[in-house]
Amino acid sequence: MEKERIGFIGVGLMGHGMAKNIVTKGWPLTVMGHRNRAPVEDLVAVGASEAKTARELALVSDVVILCVTGSPQVQAVIDGPDGLAAAGRELVVVDCSTSDPSVTTRLATSLAEKAITLVDAPLGRTPADAAAGTLDVMVGGADAVIARIRPVLDAFAGRVIHTGPTGSGHTMKLLNNFLSMGYAALYSEALMLGAKAGVTPQVFDGVIRGGRMDCGFYQTFSRWFLERDPNAHKFAIRNGFKDMSYLASLANSLGAANPVGAAVRNTFALAVGTGHGDDYVPMLTDIVQDLNRGDAS
């Protein structure tokens, strides 16, 4: 059976590993040019083609995967004279970004009128997992569409969980990121309090690691404050703040109070507001400590 032609937009930290798995496992792949040329050139070297615009990419693709920052970026590559929709052809668009579920469902409805099926398939785990093909994927959409794209998802995923209709994947991703960003805020505050009381990070780790408060997130997060490894957990604080803002929007749309989510969001807002948006999430440990010494820059 001939494999479908895949388009890929957003070959950054996560997208590069995903796209490389797709092309090296036999799918015809076209990627859109990126401001960082290195991942594009690496993919072209192993067999991918490059398109200059989203419209050009759509013309040579059956399924298009998006791995961009969030809803505004998704809409930007779909709309406009050079967007995916401008190609005027039937497509399945798989949004692997962490997007606002309300925007996703509205967009799915409008795109259906143009013969474009939108599926949300946000990701769990890290860029290292993307390269290894062991990501978690939370996918929302109709059964038949999920069955069609499942082989492609399996190329870069270790687990694929069908969460329900379109929009449910992005909802679940926000809940997942609420937990992970919540852990980051909790660990950072606990480490700060420990440091003030004379408890070292090594003692803290000795108690947490292997205990009930340990988890996969902690194991990568802790490599910053224990080993100063900047590459262990490459997820920008700015993106954490964006996700927590989406969570606040979701809570508002549901008429729900989410005081813990608001506290986590404010921790990330403070980090971004003090100039640390491009730092990775584990570096929040330093930021919280600096803010409590009164000497944060």
What residues are annotated to the active site? 173
232, containing H or E segment: none
Which tokens in the block code for residue 196? 């003030």
CA nearest to 188, candidates 127, 266, 244: 266
Which tokens in the block code for residue 90? 């039937």
- Residue 79's SS3 state is coil
DSSP per residue, 105-170: HHHHHHHHTTTEEEEE--EES-HHHHHHT-EEEEEES-HHHHHHHHHHHHHHEEEEEEEESTTHHH
Q: How many helices (H) and strands (E) does the chain have?
A: 13, 9
In terms of C-beta density within 10 A (0-12 exposed, 13-18 middle, 19 or more buried), how is residue 2 classed?
Answer: exposed
With beta carbons less than 8 A apart as the criterion, state whether 39 and 8 touch.
no
Q: What value, to the nearest 5°, has the Cα angle with vertex 172 and ends 102 and 212?
A: 150
> Could you give the count of Cα atoms lying within 13 Å of 181 in the half-sphere of its Cβ?
31
- Looking up tokens 């050139």, which residue turns up? 41
Which phi and psi (to 5°) does residue 109 adopt?
-65, -45
Eight-class DSSP state of 163:
E
Spatial distance between the Cα atoms of 62 and 108, rounded to a whole number of angstroms: 17
Residue 80 region by backbone torsions, left for phi larger than 0, else alpha for psi between -120 and 50, else beta: left
